[in-house]
């Protein structure tokens, strides 16, 4: 009878005590979360309920298993299994707690600085993400090492492994040179403020937004919703454009190739009207100038400002489309054409229209259909 009651009391008592401790701890965390809604810490700590209960149960069973006298022929194997579960659950819980603390710190910082300095918030977010990954990797490696050391054969081989650690380190360093380079590049990106999650960048001619940064690779989400994954060492060894570096405000350009008779003053007025009706324009500045000239056309450049990269794209396409439409409807003679006849001077050259209603300046460049 004692052989049945003793294992039942030890195992059943450990499970019941684990459930009671888990319920009590979760109740305390839930009440703390309700009393302090300004911080997400207590709610995030509740995510560690499963590893916490697993840790408590493994610890109780590991400490009382000898008293249970259950399967004595397999006592060593069961004790080692419980030790492995104990180490694994402790590492799992440590990762959850570290993630909760780091996420809480970032949330508090972002809530107070998002409006004043969004670029710095993105920088902190990048650092927090990489720190969390580093902590998880370190805890995982330590846990695996602790699990291996529970086996006597691994402890016996420790001396020989330590003696050859120098040679193995050199071999591993040479074999994993690119991987280690990417890891150090990831840390350099995180703390060197080269690129952050949410930054608008141009890499290999592709325009997109940085979506994810890890210790080894970086993902850029392009405007057409493609994902470009590249090693982080690219950003430490090659030049790239970061449109979100410093202030997000930008100046955009729009170019047209027009006829020399294009009405520049009227185009400046039209540019002003277009921008005033464009919500993406931030109202800081605009300009329209002739930047180049060829025997057949002249290059006209318009400048406009916006608060960020997304808005400057909207401003550029709006100005380009509406200006071309306006020129087509109101001043078609300003659009570039191919000259097929010699210039002929007519009366009314000083801006007056000829009897057929066509500006005299237009007669200097005949379209093929007018011949």
Q: Which residues is 292 bridged to in the sheet?
A: 299
**What percent of the chain has pLDDT above 90?**
16
Residue 114: per-residue pLDDT: 62
In a domain, 7, yes or no: yes
The answer to the question of residue 154 being in a domain is no
Return the HEC string of 238-306: CCCEECCCCCCCEEEEEEEEECCCCCHHHHHHHHHHHHHCCCCEEEEEEEEEEEEECCCCEEEEEEEEE
| Of the listed ranges 6-10, 345-349, 351-355, the one predicted with least confidence | 351-355
Is residue 142 domain-resident? no
Q: What is the mean pLDDT of residues 73-87?
A: 77
Phi-psi region of 246 (alpha: psi -120 to 50; beta: other; left: phi over 0): left
The answer to whether residue 174 scores a pLDDT higher than 50 is no
- Are 232 and 256 found together in one domain? no
Determine, yes or no, domain membership for 358: no
Q: Does one domain contain both 258 and 327?
A: yes
Which residue did the predictor score with more confidence, 216 or 350? 216
Residues 6+ apart with CB under 8 A from 10: 61, 64, 65, 67, 68, 70
- What is the SS3 assignment for 40-84? CHHHHHHHHHHHHHHHHHHHHHHHHHHHHCCCHHHHHHHHHHHHH
Residue 194's CATH number? 2.30.30.60
> How do residues 50-62 score in pLDDT, each as one tens digit?
888 888 888 887 7
- Does residue 273 fall inside a structural domain? yes
Check whether 68 has a pLDDT greater than 50: yes
pLDDT tens column, 216-266: 778 888 888 888 888 877 777 777 888 777 667 888 899 999 999 899 999
Reported as a pLDDT band with limits 50, 70 and 90, residue 66 is: low
Q: Is residue 183 part of a domain?
A: yes
User: What is residue 274's predicted lDDT score, i.e. its pLDDT?
Assistant: 94
For residues 139 and 98, is the Cβ–Cβ distance under 8 A? Answer: yes
Q: What is the rounded CA–CA span in Å between residue 320 and residue 255?
A: 8
367 in a structural domain = no
Tell me, what's the pLDDT at 113?
62
Answer yes or no: is 108 within a domain. Answer: yes
56-57-62 Cα angle (round to 5): 100
Domains in the chain, number: 3
Domain residues for the domain of 256 are 250-334
The per-residue pLDDT for range 288-328, each reduced to its tens digit, is: 999 999 888 899 999 999 988 888 889 999 999 999 999 99
Give the C-alpha separation, 349 to 361, whole Å. Answer: 6
How many CB atoms are closer than 10 A to CB 89?
A: 21
> Angle formed by the axes of helices 118-148 and 75-113, to 10°?
170
Rounded Cα distance between 168 and 128, Å, is 32
SS3 label, residue 200: strand
Q: What is the pLDDT of residue 74?
A: 62
Whole-number percent of the chain with pLDDT over 70: 70
Domain boundary among 92, 113, 134: 113
More confident residue, 32 or 363: 32
144-153, 332-341, 344-353, 355-364: which has the minimum mean pLDDT? 355-364
Positive or negative torsion for Cα 161, 167, 171, 172: positive
pLDDT tens string 130-165:
777 778 888 887 888 777 777 776 655 544 544 454
């Amino acid at each position: 009878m004692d052989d049945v009651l003793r294992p039942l009391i030890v195992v059943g008592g450990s499970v019941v005590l684990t459930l009671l401790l888990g319920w009590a701890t979760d109740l305390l965390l839930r009440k703390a979360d309700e009393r302090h809604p300004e911080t997400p810490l207590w709610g995030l700590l509740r995510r560690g309920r499963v590893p916490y209960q697993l840790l408590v149960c493994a610890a109780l069973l590991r400490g009382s298993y000898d008293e249970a006298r259950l399967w004595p022929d397999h006592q060593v194997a069961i004790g080692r299994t419980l030790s492995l579960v104990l180490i694994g659950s402790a590492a799992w819980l440590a990762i959850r707690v570290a993630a909760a603390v780091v996420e809480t710190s970032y949330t508090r910082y972002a809530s107070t600085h998002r409006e004043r300095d969004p670029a710095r918030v993105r920088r902190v977010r990048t650092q927090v993400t990489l720190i969390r990954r580093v902590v998880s990797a370190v805890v995982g490696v330590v846990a695996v090492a602790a699990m291996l050391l529970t086996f006597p054969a691994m402890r016996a081989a420790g001396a020989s492994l330590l003696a050859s650690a120098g040679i193995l380190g050199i071999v591993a360093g040479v074999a994993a040179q690119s991987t280690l380079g990417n890891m150090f590049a990831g840390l350099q990106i995180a703390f060197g403020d080269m690129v952050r999650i949410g930054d608008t960048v141009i890499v290999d001619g592709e325009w997109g937004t940085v979506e994810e940064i890890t210790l080894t690779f970086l993902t850029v989400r392009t405007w057409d919703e493609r994902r470009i994954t590249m090693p982080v060492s690219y950003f430490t060894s090659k030049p790239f454009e970061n449109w979100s570096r410093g202030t997000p405000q930008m100046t955009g350009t729009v170019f047209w190739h027009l006829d020399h008779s294009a009405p520049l003053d009227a185009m400046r007025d039209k540019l002003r009207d277009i921008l005033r009706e464009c919500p993406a324009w931030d109202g800081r500045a605009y300009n329209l100038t002739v930047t180049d000239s060829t025997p057949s056309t002249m290059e006209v450049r318009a400048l406009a400002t916006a608060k960020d990269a997304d808005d400057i794209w909207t401003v550029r396409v709006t100005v380009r489309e509406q200006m071309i439409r306006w020129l087509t409807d109101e001043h078609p003679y300003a659009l570039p054409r191919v000259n097929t006849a010699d210039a002929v001077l007519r009366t009314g050259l000083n801006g007056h229209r000829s009897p057929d209603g066509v500006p005299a300046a237009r007669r200097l460049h005949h379209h093929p259909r007018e011949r």
